[in-house]
Structure 1
Amino acid sequence: MNFEKMYNTIDTHVGGEAFRIVTQSPIAFRGSDVHANHDELQRGFTNEKNLLLNEPRGHRGMHGCIVTSSSNADFQLLFFNHQAVTNFKYEGLLTTVTALIETGNVMRTADDCYRVETVNGIYKVKARIDQQEVTAVSIESGTCFEVNANPDYVTVRVDNARDYLLYALPETIPGIELEHLAALNNWGIGKTAELTKGNVAYEGVILVESGAAAGRKVRSVTFEKDGYILRSPGVDSTFAILTSLLNTPSGPGEIENESIFGSSLTAKALGEGECRFELETEAFVTGSHEFIFDQDDPLKDGFLLV
């Protein structure tokens, strides 16, 4: 066994969405250009990425992040995910900043504001820290707007980059609750398959329960492109729902978006004349691992339990 193929990771989650952060590994990049590093990671290291994402050491809901050095920010973050999953998630930035601070893997800044370089640009994550524990992290979105509306769904573009399709909860499903999980799951699988067959470009489908609660609270469930139910309310999803609500006459400037699993995220409009938002939440470190990649292992890719 070659112990030079060892991977050190930190497991985290925010709102139930899990991220495996690779802090040390044999994966090395030729330079500091984030686009070149992103492309190299997407093209190669297939077995290694599968090992880190799949069972028996992972699951379909696991997301991967690699931390590396940056000449333009506090660190560079590269994403790798299962097929049909968007390759950028705000949640990854929030969990990584939390994990690196709490494990001493990043130097604290004077204002506890951390700049993270990604293939989509540099993002600022603000941390609130109490005795080395990160009690809250916040981030601001890019510009969001409605692309079009039709009788079936509303399309919202988050960060001028990722399109989400918002559907109203059909009358055949009583509510976005765990007792209706089977019906919701069947709807999501059918809808995403229909959209994919129709060559509709999108990052996710968001089912929104209208009138679920008074005021600024909404309930939603997000399906990724393979019909998989997102485990959290979703940062992108929360921004997309608030964007759509702001276009209504009595739309709130702040919402609490609750998932089918009971977790929630709160976002508010920045009020700067453009459709941008701030979201604050808490991320949690759930463990650390050492993985060894063995080319001779017949199950070197791991496997997903279905």
Structure 2
Amino acid sequence: MNIEKMFSTIDTHVAGEAFRIIIQSSIDLNEDNVKSNHQLLQNFYQDEKDFLLNEPRGHRGMNGCIIISSKVADYGLLFFNHDQEAQFKYGGLVTSVTALIETGNLNVKENGIYKIETIQGIHEVRVNFENQEVSKVLIESNECKVLENNGEYQLVEVDESRNYVIFPLPDSIPNIDLDHLAFINKWGRKTVDRFTDENIPFDGIVITQSSGAAGNEICSVTFEKDGSITRSPGMDSTFAIFTALKKISNENNQLTNYSIFDSSITANYLPGTLNRFSVEIQGFTTGMHQFIFDKKDPLKNGFLLK
């Protein structure tokens, strides 16, 4: 076998959402700023991105991140995804800093504060490192706001850049649980097609169901733009739901969002802000891998099961 290209990765997840952190590869991003390197990654290297994201090495839920150097932060982080428009995910901040510290690729700081440069700007995270493990990562969102509330749904903008459509549980779905996954999938794909046909831009469509008497616990499912279900409660989704609830009642300052798979994300309102939130959560390193790209492989770019 002629080994043409080799990729070294750290596989991770946060609340069930998987991220493949690329630490060494043939992807040559040699520009001197994040935006230019982002454009290189988006416009080229499609074979490499498909190879890393698709089955048999990946799956529909896999997200890609690539570590680059930064002149203004501890490191730079670029994203690539099955959805080519997805340019940033908060979960990538959590999992990348976790993986880099736990594998010795990033020095441990006494103050626990790390800066990560992304296409969405520089994000500061606070890391709790103990017993050779990253036990928690604290992140803060930027401003979120409700753009529309028409009685059927609320349209919420997260970080002034990503839009989520928030629906209450529809009558066609008895409950948000795995027993009713067929009903959930059917509704999700129908609604995604509706918004796509009507040319309404969105980054996710979310259904919600209250799960606690105090009003600060929610079950939710997020559908991506191709109708796929996000494999976690979703950081963006949690911020969007919290913003929508704050528009109705300003009573609660904490929200726990549960996924259909029983993972959860708890967000706290940052007092004195216009709908900014914090999340303290643990990411997990699940493996270190080396992948070989063989151009003779008939499935070198992989495939996706629908």
TM-score, length basis structure 1: 0.97
Aligned to 1:111: 111
| Residues 9, 104 of structure 1: alpha-carbon distance in 2 compared, 3 angstrom cutoff | same
Equivalence map 1:74-93=2 (5 Å): 74-83=74-83, 86-93=86-93
- Structural RMSD (CA): 1.2
Aligned to 2:42: 42
Equivalent-residue separation in structure 2 for 1:157 and 1:171 (angstroms) = 26
Equivalent-residue separation in structure 1 for 2:236 and 2:305 (angstroms) = 27
Name the stretch that deviates more: 243-252 or 170-179: 243-252
Aligned to 2:193: 193
**Which consecutive unaligned segments of at least 5 residues does structure 2 have?**
none
Does 1:270 pair with 2:270? yes
Aligned to 2:213: 214
Equivalence map 1:227-246=2 (5 Å): 227-246=227-246
Please state whether the residue corresponding to 2:92 is helix, strand or coil: helix
Aligned to 1:132: 132
Question: Counterpart of 2:105 in structure 1: which amino acid?
Answer: N
Please state whether the residue corresponding to 2:248 is helix, strand or coil: coil
Question: Counterpart of 2:154 in structure 1: which amino acid?
Answer: V
Equivalent-residue separation in structure 1 for 2:33 and 2:92 (angstroms) = 20
Q: Is the CA contact 1:245–1:251 (under 8 Å) kept in the aligned structure 2? A: no
**Which consecutive unaligned segments of at least 5 residues does structure 1 have?**
none
| Residues 85, 43 of structure 1: alpha-carbon distance in 2 compared, 3 angstrom cutoff | closer
Please state whether the residue corresponding to 1:247 is helix, strand or coil: helix
Question: Counterpart of 1:240 in structure 2: which amino acid?
Answer: A
Aligned to 2:145: 145
Name the stretch that deviates more: 293-302 or 183-192: 293-302
Does 1:293 pair with 2:293? yes
Equivalent-residue separation in structure 2 for 1:84 and 1:293 (angstroms) = 21
1:88-111 per-residue CA deviation (whole Å, 9 max, x = no partner) reads 100011000000010001112231
Aligned to 1:54: 54
CA offset at residue 276 of structure 1?
Answer: 0.5
1:269-304 per-residue CA deviation (whole Å, 9 max, x = no partner) reads 110232100001111111111011122222110122
Question: Counterpart of 1:21 in structure 2: which amino acid?
Answer: I
Q: Is the CA contact 1:266–1:280 (under 8 Å) kept in the aligned structure 2? A: yes
Equivalent-residue separation in structure 2 for 1:297 and 1:249 (angstroms) = 56
1:189-223 per-residue CA deviation (whole Å, 9 max, x = no partner) reads 000011001000110001011x3221211111100
Question: Counterpart of 1:213 in structure 2: which amino acid?
Answer: G
Name the stretch that deviates more: 81-90 or 135-144: 81-90
Equivalent-residue separation in structure 1 for 2:265 and 2:207 (angstroms) = 16
Equivalent-residue separation in structure 1 for 2:226 and 2:48 (angstroms) = 22
Please state whether the residue corresponding to 2:51 is helix, strand or coil: helix
Please state whether the residue corresponding to 2:124 is helix, strand or coil: strand
Equivalent-residue separation in structure 2 for 1:169 and 1:64 (angstroms) = 31
Aligned-residue sequence identity (percent) comes to: 50
CA offset at residue 85 of structure 1?
Answer: 6.2
Question: Counterpart of 1:107 in structure 2: which amino acid?
Answer: N
Q: Is the CA contact 2:87–2:119 (under 8 Å) kept in the aligned structure 1? A: no
Aligned to 1:101: 101
1:153-192 per-residue CA deviation (whole Å, 9 max, x = no partner) reads 1011000111100001012211111101110011000000
Question: Counterpart of 2:172 in structure 1: which amino acid?
Answer: T
Count of equivalent residues: 305
Q: Is the CA contact 1:84–1:224 (under 8 Å) kept in the aligned structure 2? A: no
CA offset at residue 250 of structure 1?
Answer: 5.0
Please state whether the residue corresponding to 1:220 is helix, strand or coil: strand
Please state whether the residue corresponding to 1:180 is helix, strand or coil: helix
1:229-276 per-residue CA deviation (whole Å, 9 max, x = no partner) reads 011000000001111111123541110000111000000111023210
Aligned to 1:33: 33
Q: Is the CA contact 1:15–1:283 (under 8 Å) kept in the aligned structure 2? A: yes
Equivalent-residue separation in structure 2 for 1:110 and 1:26 (angstroms) = 34
CA offset at residue 4 of structure 1?
Answer: 5.5
Question: Counterpart of 1:176 in structure 2: which amino acid?
Answer: I
Name the stretch that deviates more: 102-111 or 252-261: 102-111
Aligned to 1:177: 177
Please state whether the residue corresponding to 2:190 is helix, strand or coil: helix
Please state whether the residue corresponding to 2:101 is helix, strand or coil: helix
Q: Is the CA contact 2:207–2:222 (under 8 Å) kept in the aligned structure 1? A: yes
Aligned to 1:7: 7
Equivalent-residue separation in structure 1 for 2:140 and 2:57 (angstroms) = 33
